[in-house]
């Protein structure tokens, strides 16, 4: 067993909380994050309409069987497989496959090509890049005027794809595989929104554009959209699996991070780089303090800290080495009211959690300060 498996709490994401908005493959993403030490807050921002119950997909399938298109574009492996399986369940499987054998079948990339061949079909062409832009270029070069083109949709927007085909004179028929609706239970989504707005999560992950749009819509319904956008712009890292997924966030002016390869593994690896790089590291009383979301690394030892203690520590770390008055610390405590005794109680718990009481000094009648190492004093005094 490797070291990461033995001590997952000391992985690169130890001390960070990551929100997962995915409905599909959420368990896989959550396991990847937890294996690297993250705490995971899962709230599916949407739900998938079961294919067997989807009357829109049934109607589109019957229409294509009755009126043959010239071209069918298969966009995702799971979507194509699901479409064929659903047609089987409706007793239309053979009719659909026969129809697909008679048309120009294009598969977007190697995975889709594998699904097409597993169904006993052969694609006419497939780009190695998995790029819908390359598929579009090929269609437009062939000429689409007067042609009937069916596009297997999978919940993701295809920016400009359908519009460009229609502008070229094509009739475009959408095959709505995996339509997504808001979740039936909004409680988990609301808890995730509250956590994001209050900085209770360090990152939000998005693996589909509909999930991002659904979360933003729910925030708007609750009057939390401005607060959510502020959080995503400053303290909560929005991480998207790819550029299409990021579109709803970018439409609201939110900059996102994305891996070079649009897969869950690279998305997690990106978080392993980005979150630790954003953590504040300080030389305090002969120790190295790295302040993470819900914990502190003291000389690389993970020390979980209660929320009130983290609020105090973050306030102190904004001016390391400087005295922070009790009144200012009191304002930082959530729901503390006006009793400065609450600061003393929370401070005592913070010192216990850190395991090194001398990290924070009490300055009588004034407040508290982080015991910044003398060699670092000049640097932070000039900051």
pLDDT at 11 exceeding the cut of 60 = yes
Answer whether 296's CB lies under 8 Å from 305's CB.
yes
Averaged confidence pLDDT in the chain? 89
Percent of the chain with pLDDT over 90: 64
pLDDT at 262 exceeding the cut of 90 = no
Residues 102-137 have pLDDT tens digits of: 999 999 988 899 999 999 999 999 998 778 889 999
Report how far apart, in Å, the C-alpha atoms of 160 and of each of 119, 133, 167, 168 are: 29, 9, 10, 12
Residue 70 and residue 173 in one domain: yes
Residue 314 and residue 350 in one domain: yes
Residue 76 and residue 170 in one domain: yes
Give Dmax over CA atoms of the chain in angstroms. Answer: 86
Using pLDDT thresholds of 50, 70 and 90, give the confidence band for residue 337.
low
Answer whether 30's CB lies under 8 Å from 20's CB.
yes
Domain coverage including residue 301: 280-382
Residue 131 and residue 233 in one domain: no
CATH number of 149's domain: 3.40.50.10090
Total tally of structural domains belonging to the chain: 3
Residues 34-87 have pLDDT tens digits of: 999 999 999 999 887 777 778 889 999 999 999 999 999 999 888 899 899 999
CATH number of 311's domain: 1.10.10.10
pLDDT at 382 exceeding the cut of 50 = no
Residues 279-318 have pLDDT tens digits of: 888 999 889 999 999 999 999 899 999 989 999 999 999 8
pLDDT at 231 exceeding the cut of 90 = yes
User: Measured between alpha carbons, how far is 347 from 324 in angstroms, rounded to an integer?
Assistant: 13
Q: What is the pLDDT of residue 159?
A: 64
pTM of the model: 0.73
Percent of the chain with pLDDT over 70: 93
Single out the residue in 255, 278, 301 at which a domain terminates: 278
Place of tokens 């460009």: 164
**DSSP string spanning 242-271?**
SHHHHHHHHTTT---B--SS-SHHHHHHHH
Place of tokens 């105090």: 312
Q: What is the pLDDT of residue 249?
A: 95
Residue 238 and residue 267 in one domain: yes
Using pLDDT thresholds of 50, 70 and 90, give the confidence band for residue 340.
confident
Query: 24-33, 269-278, 358-367: which has the highest mean pLDDT?
Result: 269-278
Q: What is the pLDDT of residue 38?
A: 94
């Amino acid at each position: 067993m490797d070291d990461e498996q033995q001590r997952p709490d000391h992985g690169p994401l130890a001390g960070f909380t990551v929100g997962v908005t995915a409905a599909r493959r959420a368990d896989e993403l959550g396991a990847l994050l937890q294996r690297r030490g993250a705490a995971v807050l899962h709230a599916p921002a949407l739900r998938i309409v079961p294919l067997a119950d989807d009357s829109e997909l049934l109607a589109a399938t019957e229409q294509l069987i009755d009126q043959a298109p010239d071209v069918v574009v298969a966009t995702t492996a799971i979507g194509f497989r699901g479409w064929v399986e659903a047609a089987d369940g409706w007793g239309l499987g053979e009719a659909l496959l026969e129809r697909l054998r008679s048309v120009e079948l294009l598969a977007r990339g190697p995975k889709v090509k594998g699904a097409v061949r597993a169904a006993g079909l052969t694609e006419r062409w497939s780009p190695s890049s998995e790029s819908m832009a390359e598929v579009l270029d090929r269609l437009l070069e062939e000429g689409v005027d007067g042609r009937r083109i069916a596009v297997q949709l999978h919940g993701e927007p295809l920016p400009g794809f359908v519009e460009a085909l229609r502008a070229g004179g094509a009739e475009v028929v959408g095959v709505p595989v995996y339509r997504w609706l808001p979740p039936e239970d909004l409680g988990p989504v609301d808890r995730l929104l509250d956590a994001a707005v209050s900085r209770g999560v360090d990152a939000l992950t998005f693996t589909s554009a509909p999930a991002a749009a659904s979360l933003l819509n729910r925030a708007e319904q609750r009057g939390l959209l401005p607060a959510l956008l502020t959080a995503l712009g400053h303290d909560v890292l929005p991480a998207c699996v790819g550029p299409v997924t990021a579109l709803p966030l970018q439409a609201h002016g939110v900059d996102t991070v994305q891996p070079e390869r649009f897969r869950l593994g690279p998305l997690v690896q990106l978080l392993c780089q980005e979150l630790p790089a954003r953590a504040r590291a300080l030389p305090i009383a002969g120790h190295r303090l790295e302040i993470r979301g819900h914990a502190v690394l003291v000389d690389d030892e993970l020390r979980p800290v209660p929320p009130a203690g983290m609020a105090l520590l973050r306030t102190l770390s904004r001016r390391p080495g400087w005295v922070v008055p009790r009144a200012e610390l009191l304002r930082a405590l959530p729901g503390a009211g006006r009793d400065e005794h609450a600061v003393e109680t929370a401070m005592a718990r913070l010192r216990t959690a850190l395991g090194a009481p001398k990290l924070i000094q009490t300055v009588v009648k004034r407040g508290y300060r982080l015991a910044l190492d003398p060699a670092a004093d000049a640097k932070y005094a000039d900051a």
